[in-house]
Amino acid sequence: MQTGKMKPVITVRVANEGVFFGPGVMMILEALETHGAMKDACRQTGISYSKAWRILNEVERQLGYPVVSRQHGGSSGGGCMVTPAGQKIMSSYRESEKRIKAYADQVFEELFPHCERSRNEVVFTLAEALSVSRGDIISLTGAGGKTSCLYQLGNELQEGRVLLTTTTKMGYPAVGQVDEIYSVGEIEIPRLPHKHGRTFLSGGYLAGGKCRHVPMDKIGAASANYDVTVIEADGSRQFPLKGYFDSEPCIPEFATLNVGIATVQGIGRRADESWILRWPEFQEMVGIEAGELVNEIHMARWIEHPKGMFKGSCGRKVLFWNQVESEEQQEQAEKVMNYLDEDFRSKLARVVAGSVKNSEYRTLWKQEDKAYDVSIEG
Q: Give mean pLDDT, residues 218-225.
A: 93
Query: What Cα–Cα distance (Å) separates residue 49 from each residue in 76, 187, 329?
Result: 11, 59, 28
- DSSP-assigned letter for residue 172: P
Q: Please provide the distance, in angstroms rounded to a whole number, between the alpha carbons at the two ends of the chain.
A: 36
**What is the reported pLDDT for 376?**
41
Higher pLDDT, 371 or 80: 80
Between 181 and 116, residue with greater pLDDT: 181
Least confident of 33-47, 68-82, 332-346: 68-82
Region of poorest pLDDT, from 109-123, 201-215, 228-242, 258-272: 109-123
pLDDT over 90 percentage in the chain: 67
The structural architecture, per CATH, of the domain 14-115 is Orthogonal Bundle (1.10)
Sign of CA dihedral 175, 139, 130, 362: positive
Residues of each domain in the chain carrying CATH 3.40.50: 126-366
In 3D, which of 141, 140, 120, 123 has the Cα closest to residue 131?
123
Q: Contact at 8 Å (CB) between 305 and 262? A: no
- Average pLDDT of the residues of the chain: 88
Phi, psi of 224 (to 5 degrees): -60, -20
C-beta separation of 288 from 296 below 8 A: no
Average pLDDT for 175-198: 87
Rg value, the chain, Cα: 24
Q: Which pLDDT value is given to residue 252? A: 96
Say whether pLDDT at 90 is over 90: yes
By mean pLDDT, which of 112-116, 249-253, 299-303, 304-308 is the weakest? 112-116
Q: What are phi and psi of 197, to 5 degrees?
A: 115, -165
Q: How far apart are the C-alpha atoms of 212 and 232, rounded to whole Å?
A: 12
Helices 38-45 + 49-63 axis angle, to 10: 110
Helices and strands (DSSP H and E) totals, the chain: 12, 18
Residue type, 376: I
Instruction: Give residue-wise pLDDT tens across range 139-153.
Output: 999 999 999 999 999
Query: Are the CB atoms for 364 and 338 separated by under 8 Å?
Result: no
How much is the average pLDDT of 3-17?
77
Q: How much is the average pLDDT of 174-200?
A: 88
pLDDT digits (tens, 9 = 90+) for 70-89: 876 555 445 789 999 999 99
For the chain, residues classed under CATH 1.10.10.10 are 14-115
Phi, psi of 289 (to 5 degrees): -110, 155
Letter string b/e over residues 165-186, b meaning 16 or more CB atoms within 10 A of that residue's CB:
bbbbebeebeeebbbbbbebee
What is the predicted pLDDT for the residue at 107? 87
At residue 220, the pLDDT reads 95
Cα 320 to Cα 155: distance, rounded to the nearest angstrom: 18
| Confidence band, pLDDT 50/70/90 cuts, at residue 117 | very low
- pLDDT for 185 equals 83
For Cα atoms 52, 293, 84, give the angle at the middle one, nearest 5 degrees: 35
CA 321 – CA 337 distance, rounded (Å): 11
**Does residue 372 carry a pLDDT above 70?**
no
Which region among 6-20, 52-66, 348-362 has the lowest average model confidence (pLDDT)?
A: 6-20
The CATH architecture that domain 126-366 belongs to is 3-Layer(aba) Sandwich (3.40)
With a cut of 80, say whether residue 339 has pLDDT above it.
yes
Pairing state of beta strands 205-206 and 210-211?
Answer: antiparallel
